[in-house]
Structure 1
Amino acid sequence: MKLWITRPMTAEVDARARAEFDVEIRENTLPLTAQEMQRALTEFDVVVPTLGDLFSAEIFANAPKPRCKLLANFGVGYNHIDITAAQGAGIEVTNTPGAVTDATADVAMTLLLMTARRAGEGERLVRSGAWQGWHPTQMLGQHATGKRVGIVGMGRIGQAIAQRCHFGFGMDVAYVARTEKMLEFPATRAESLQSLAAEVDFLVLAVPGGAETRHLVGPDVLRAMKPSAILINIARGEVVDQAALIAALESSDIAGAGLDVYEFEPNVPEQLIRMENVTLLPHLGTATEEVRSNMGHMALDNVAAFWAGQALPNPVA
């Protein structure tokens, strides 16, 4: 079996892959080109792709008899892979759920606290040398404890964020989800996203990417939010209409935003970069040594099961 891993991995995962498989590990950290994706489908039995490797219907159509039979995606999100087209080509797809939950929830709280307490702005002030010392009205932000948080998407990650908000900060939790959730903490399910947006101090996005959630947060939702409210996105960039968000921030329709993802990554609009009330992180959701190693092992577990003819641990197609 020939295996291709499309990005460098942690040393732990790299060592396992080389010990167990006939593997080629791509050194480039940028997404695959169309030519490289054709190579992936025609020269390898299994490929471990990740975010940005856009296996579209066109890519599959251009490889009508693929050698590849499994895309063992490195990541829980797989909206960069056309699942229907993969199935049509006889290719199975797996992902790495669970491994990313706590780290992603931690980054959501990082963004919430940084934006509410103006931490990024404060750090820039100190680094600039312009800080003149403490005084009673210096950089007054928003209190997080005891506020009302709205979680959009109450899956694994949404629940982990809600737990941190409720148990750690005494927040009142509300949410929208496809179904009512049985939770270990009090939470109210809102009738709609707009009604949720209208009643919360922090609106946190934790839904999968894809066509169903593209621009889920647009002008109507942003207009519904309180002028004092803050939007947090740790989902996928395209879940938010980025142009509408910029307009809402520029007109002070909302107080701020904390973003770990962007609609056209890695491009970040200059308008967002200039705004002091926006916290910008470079897609750090799962960026810890332990989590990235766990994700890599989960992907390789799928590879090993596939090659042994066993049931795939984490199939998505």
Structure 2
Amino acid sequence: MEYKDYYKILGVSRSASADEIKRAYRKLAREFHPDRNKSAGAEDRFKEVNEANEVIGDPEKRKAYDELGANWKAGQQFTPPPGWGGGGFSRGRSAGGFSGGGADFSDFFSQLFGGMGGMGGMGGSRGFQDFAGAEAPDTRARLAIALEDSYTGAERQINVGGRSLKVRIPKGVTGGQTIRLAGQGTQGGDLLLEIEFGPHPQFKLDGRDVTVTVNIAPWEAALGGKIEVPTLGGKVELNLPANSRSGQKLRLKGRGLPGKAAGDQFVVMQIVQPPASSDADRALYEQMAAHFTDFQPRA
């Protein structure tokens, strides 16, 4: 009979962890499930994947299988060594706790672990119920990002279920949108990350538009000119019109979050006056009061 490399069938290394084997099995079982994949050979591939998981997905069978050594190659003629006992799995004992219907397992499996297997027309393999009935459940979590992450796009490293995962944050993602990581959920399904924005020290978000408040001096408000303002992409110069007032909004087109229709940035002016901290400061304010006799701020 031919040797079967179960690690190669699942596409994992011989040192793969139990979680890695589980994820690889679930991915392949979904791909080749006969109810989904009607292509020629899909059913045979599905059986092969289940058989591989039946062995290296079980700690005892995996240990017994590994005792055969790592030097065998798939397709080589193989005979169990003299006295092989299958790690305690004798003929007539069900592999995986199921009985009957051993035709779905290969001769290689039967020689190693007994001539049963009990897949029962692909319905009995350990772990298969996840695919025969309902999908493996997805895992949902929230991912807080900064507004700048959405403006430029970013990568983040997160920890889920004791695993470190790299997440690519696309440009223009908005709060409430979901990033899907296929097969990375804690129970074998997908990991769904709902985006939320953490509080920002400068910007406020409304849809794709952002708003920032900028302080200006009284003479800047009166005389106008160029002032430097922050944006999500860095500082830019803004033309401040003469006689600007507190609460006045100026728009920077397209400086909000990216998208098919990019958002804008609104700059809200806030006039702040220097304190009268010295006699000279007070004298200057007195001159202004004497000069602007017609100005009625509460009119």
Q: Which bracket does the TM-score occupy, shorter chain normalised?
A: under 0.3
Q: Which has the higher strand share?
A: 2
1 or 2 for the larger relative contact order (CA 8 Å, sep ≥6)? 1
Which one has the largest radius of gyration? Answer: 2
Q: Which has the higher helix share?
A: 1
- Structure 1 length normalisation: TM-score? 0.18
